Amino acid sequence: MQSLLLRLAAVAAALLLACCAAEGQRFERQAALNSEVGVIYVYRPLTSVLARGEDPYVTIAGQPMGRLRAGGYFKKVVPIGEHKVMVQQTVLFIPTWPESVEVAVASATGTYVKIDQRITAVEFDEGATATQQVFIEEVPGFTGQSEILGMRENT
């Protein structure tokens, strides 16, 4: 019984910590880009607290950006060309399995990558366990622009 209570407490603590949402400045498009660079925006929708997993770690073009909170985004100005965006799922706040996409960045434009880490299953068979999964995809510019509005920059 004590083991079950400890597991439930661990799951509850992870869920509470996962509830934190981004608190930075509201989204604004990067201004005045020259023809040699573009911007990669990586964002995470603000989803239900009950389905939200821990905050995944994000790397853009080889630079670690930190943990991406729900409702938040990172932006990075990069040279035009192909760049890798990587996300690492976390388990009890330790980065684990990486997933990535290669994105083509065009001159003076924005490229949008949507990331999420969700709880996909909760079981109470032999104690309490929660399974999480990370999702990453490049989205069309018009989709990214509309979804990122109102989000806050990760700080």
pLDDT in tens, 100-129: 999 999 988 899 999 987 777 777 877 777
Question: Residue 22: what pLDDT?
Answer: 57
Q: Whole-structure pTM over 0.85, yes or no?
A: no
- 8-state DSSP, 93: T
Confidence of residue 138 (pLDDT cuts 50, 70, 90): very high
Question: Residue 32: what pLDDT?
Answer: 58
CB 57 within 8 A of CB 66: yes
Pairing label, strands 37-44, 72-79: antiparallel
How far is residue 20's CA from residue 14's CA, in Å, rounded to a whole number?
Answer: 11
Among candidate residues 114, 119, 113, the one with its CA nearest the CA of residue 49: 119
Q: Which two tokens stand for residue 38?
A: 């573009």
Quickly tell me which residue has 């060309």 as its tokens.
81
CB 154 within 8 A of CB 65: yes
Domain ranges of the chain: 2-153
